[in-house]
């Protein structure tokens, strides 16, 4: 409002700027616009077809949560069978490391097994491999293609190993929000064993769904041996049950006997039985216990061992005990996969008090879409208020705003053509369209009102405003489209994250421009004719029309 007019004045020297543009485009547009105004019913049929096409496209467009992007690496989470020793897990993972190392696109990788994977102690049969790939210029395949080739190799080489391939950013975001996997079937109930049994029935149903991979059922802990001390036998040695337990704890777990003092710290020295004794169930029974009178007895004469299998590891959500079956996706969108899973689970007969629901990133997706839909409604309402204040009438405001939902058809068609999912990024593009689409309609209708107030008949004023504003509308639209083209092509670092947004804006703005150039002026003139037919005509003001 200040700099551009000043620069234009300097550039044109204060004189009138002769229009040296092609009249062919203006004449052709005016010709087709007059035809549309003469047959508004045909244009209405075309609008109905656009609405129907948008609904059809919506049914075929896949839905997801976050955009897919090549992050230059991935994580392989693995879980060996319950009770596997650290050495056995290491032996299995070395085979996985060989497969990773033999992949030509892999630049480096690191592995963690056992404890301290997070802020908590971890079982020795769990761990992960962080794989870094070579830069895009040095490899010919995407990370998804590499994962698709690597997954069956690992499953064939190490069949007893459960693996999950996770993108780096998705793994981090999933951990932060508490939904680390795209698909998470939650079974709620009271009895842990029954929950585990239901989860074992759910797991094959999830595995049968096309596109669902890396399915992991209920995790089980390490098998345990519990020694129940006989208080009568302990009393014969002059000991209590607690005293016997303390001696066993000192023998098996150890106790700090002294400290090694260095210049800058002290190191506790723990004394315990050697590992060949502690880790051998047969030799544990020969552990000796010294009585109060100096007599020695083995633990096998004082206690009875009870072996327990690997118990299922349960979680809680909203104070309810829960078992989970998780899975990830490959060449399948989240919405259709979850819908198929829900159909497969609908026929299951559950015991009384047990329920099943689908969570994971699908639950986050539903919550995000619900909030974005609310934002879309608020944005449309605010734009409508601005339009009503601008034109002091609801008719032009609603007509201009109606181009926004019609543009959604072009956005959905662009997503369908490019095989892009409807996710959080593309949903933000729909919100952005609300403001971009109405801009062209405001430019045209506002100038039509200006010409009509100058004395021109309404239809002629609209036609002339459409002709004169054709080039500004096309210029602003093309500038926006070309500005978003690098994002739509995925050029540059991080462009894939905003690629769905750019595609939505390009598809929606392209279609909305045609709607604004033809449908908005045609319907506005038609509605004005109908309203003037019901009310007495008002003579136009006698002021002369301004020079154009």
What is the token pair recorded at 379? 């944005």
* Residue 373 pLDDT: 93
How far is it, in rounded angstroms, from Cα 130 to Cα 361? Answer: 22
What are the E-state strand segments in 122-274? 126-133, 162-167, 183-188, 212-216, 224-229, 255-261, 266-271
* Residue 337 pLDDT: 92
How far is it, in rounded angstroms, from Cα 363 to Cα 357? Answer: 10
What is the token pair recorded at 253? 């777990």
* Residue 18 pLDDT: 45
Distance of CA 302 to the CA centre of its chain: 58
Write down how long the chain is. 548
Render each residue's pLDDT in the chain as its tens digit; 548 residues: 889 888 877 877 655 544 544 578 888 888 888 888 888 888 899 899 999 999 999 999 989 888 888 788 899 989 888 878 888 889 999 999 999 999 999 999 999 887 555 555 667 788 889 999 998 888 888 888 999 999 999 999 998 888 889 887 776 766 666 556 888 999 999 888 899 899 999 999 999 999 999 898 888 877 788 889 999 988 888 899 999 999 999 998 889 999 999 888 899 999 999 888 887 878 888 888 998 888 889 888 889 888 877 778 778 888 889 999 999 888 889 999 999 999 999 888 888 989 999 988 888 889 999 999 999 999 999 999 999 998 988 999 999 998 888 899 999 999 999 989 999 999 999 999 988 889 889 999 999 999 999 889 999 999 999 999 998 899 999 999 999 998 888 776 667 888 999 999 999 999 999 999 999 999 999 888 887 765 444 444 444 444 44
- Please answer whether residues 373 and 339 qualify as being in contact, where contact means their C-beta atoms are separated by less than 8 angstroms: no
How far is it, in rounded angstroms, from Cα 218 to Cα 185? Answer: 11
* Residue 320 pLDDT: 87
* Residue 546 pLDDT: 46
What domains sit in the chain, N to C, each tagged with a CATH number? 22-65+366-534 (1.20.1640.10), 71-179 (3.30.70.1430), 224-308 (3.30.2090.10)
């Amino acid at each position: 409002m200040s700099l551009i007019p000043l620069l234009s004045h300097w550039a044109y020297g204060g004189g009138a700027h002769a229009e040296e543009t092609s009249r062919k485009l203006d004449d052709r547009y005016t010709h087709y616009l007059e035809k549309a105004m003469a047959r508004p019913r045909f244009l209405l049929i075309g609008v109905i077809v656009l609405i129907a096409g948008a609904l059809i496209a919506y049914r075929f467009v896949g839905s997801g949560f976050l955009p897919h992007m090549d992050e230059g690496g991935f994580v392989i989470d693995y879980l060996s069978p319950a009770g596997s020793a650290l050495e056995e897990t290491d032996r299995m993972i070395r085979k996985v490391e060989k497969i990773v190392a033999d992949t030509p696109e892999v630049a480096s990788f690191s592995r963690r097994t056992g404890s301290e994977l997070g802020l908590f102690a971890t079982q020795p049969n769990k761990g992960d491999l962080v794989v870094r790939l070579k830069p895009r210029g040095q490899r010919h395949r995407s990370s998804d293609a590499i994962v698709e080739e690597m997954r069956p190799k690992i499953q064939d080489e190490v069949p007893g190993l459960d693996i999950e391939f996770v993108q780096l950013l998705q793994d981090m975001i999933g951990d932060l929000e508490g939904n680390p996997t795209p698909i998470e079937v939650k079974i709620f109930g009271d009895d842990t064993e029954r929950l585990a049994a239901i989860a074992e029935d759910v797991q094959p149903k999830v595995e049968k769904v096309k596109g669902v991979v890396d399915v992991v059922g209920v995790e089980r802990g390490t098998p345990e041996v519990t020694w129940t001390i006989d208080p009568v036998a302990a009393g014969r040695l002059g000991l209590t049950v607690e005293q016997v337990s303390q001696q066993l704890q000192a023998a098996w777990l150890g106790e700090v006997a002294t400290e090694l003092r260095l210049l800058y710290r002290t190191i506790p020295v723990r004394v315990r039985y050697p590992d060949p004794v502690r880790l051998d169930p047969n030799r544990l029974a020969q552990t000796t216990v010294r009585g109060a009178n100096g007599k020695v007895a083995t633990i096998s004469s004082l206690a009875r061992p009870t072996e327990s299998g690997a118990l299922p590891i349960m979680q809680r959500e909203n104070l309810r005990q829960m078992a989970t079956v998780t899975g990830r996706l490959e060449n399948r969108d989240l919405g259709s996969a979850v819908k198929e899973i829900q159909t497969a689970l609908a026929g299951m007969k559950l015991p009384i008090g047990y329920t099943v629901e689908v969570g994971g990133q699908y639950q986050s997706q539903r919550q995000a879409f619900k909030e974005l839909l609310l934002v879309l409604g608020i944005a449309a309402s605010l734009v409508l208020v601005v339009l009503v204040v601008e034109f002091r009438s609801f008719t032009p405001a609603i007509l201009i705003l109606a181009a926004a939902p019609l543009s959604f058809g072009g956005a959905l068609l662009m997503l369908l053509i490019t095989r892009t999912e409807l996710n959080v990024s593309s949903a933000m593009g729909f919100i952005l369209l609300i403001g971009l689409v109405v801009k062209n309609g405001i430019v045209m209708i506002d100038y039509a009102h200006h010409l009509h107030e100058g004395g021109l008949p309404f239809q002629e004023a609209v036609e002339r405003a459409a002709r004169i504003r054709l080039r500004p509308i096309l210029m602003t639209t093309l500038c926006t489209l070309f500005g978003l083209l690098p994002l739509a092509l995925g050029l540059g670092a991080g462009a894939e994250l905003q690629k769905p947004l750019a595609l939505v804006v390009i598809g929606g703005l392209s279609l909305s421009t045609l709607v604004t150039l033809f449908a908005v002026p045609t319907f506005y003139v038609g509605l004005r004719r109908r309203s003037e037919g019901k009310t007495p005509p008002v003579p136009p003001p006698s002021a002369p029309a301004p020079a154009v």
